[in-house]
Amino acid sequence: MITGQCLCGAVRFRIDGPLAPVQVCHCTDCRRAQGTPFATNAPVRRDDVVFTSDTDTLTAYESTPGKRRWFCGRCGSPLYSERTDLPGVVRLRMGLLDEPVTADVEAHAFWASRARWFDGAEDRPHHDRWIPKPG
C-alpha cells in the first residue's frame, strides 16, 4: 500500500493497487499546471485511490475539454488529472507519495516542448538540504 498527501495535509489518500511506471510529461500545459519543468505522473485505476481524509478541499479545473486537473483548494497542491476518454484512470502526481516508492520512470513525453533552460542537473552540485550561502 502506498500513501500520500497534499502539502497542507488536508487531502490524504492511499493506493490499494499497483502503481504503474512513472511518466514524465514536458508539455506546456503540464509545466504551467505544476510550475515546474515537467510533471511526474503515474496512471492509477480510479477505484484504487482511496481518500482517507475529507475531500471538501478538492477542487477541479478543466484545462482542456474533457480533461480535469484536481488540486487541494487550501494549499494548491496538484493531485491528479482525469480525462473523459480514459474513464476509470487518473494520473496521480508522484511528488505527493510517501516513500518508499519503487516505481521507475517509463518514459518522457512531449520532449520537443521541454523547458530548454532545464538540463537535468546531473553535472551540477547536489546538496542534501538548502544551497549553502556564498562566502
Residue 122 has pLDDT above 70, yes or no: no
Q: Does a structural domain hold residue 93? A: yes
**Cα–Cα distance for residue pair 112/90, rounded to 1 Å:** 24
Q: How many domains does the chain have?
A: 1
Q: Does a structural domain hold residue 121? A: no
Question: Tens of pLDDT along 18-45?
Answer: 889 999 999 999 999 999 999 999 999 9
Q: Does a structural domain hold residue 134? A: no
Q: Does a structural domain hold residue 130? A: no
Q: Does a structural domain hold residue 66? A: yes
The whole domain housing 94 covers 2-113
Please count the other Cβ atoms lying within 10 Å of the Cβ belonging to residue 53: 14
CATH of the domain at 41: 2.170.150.70
Question: Tens of pLDDT along 66-107?
Answer: 999 999 999 999 999 999 999 999 999 999 999 889 889 999
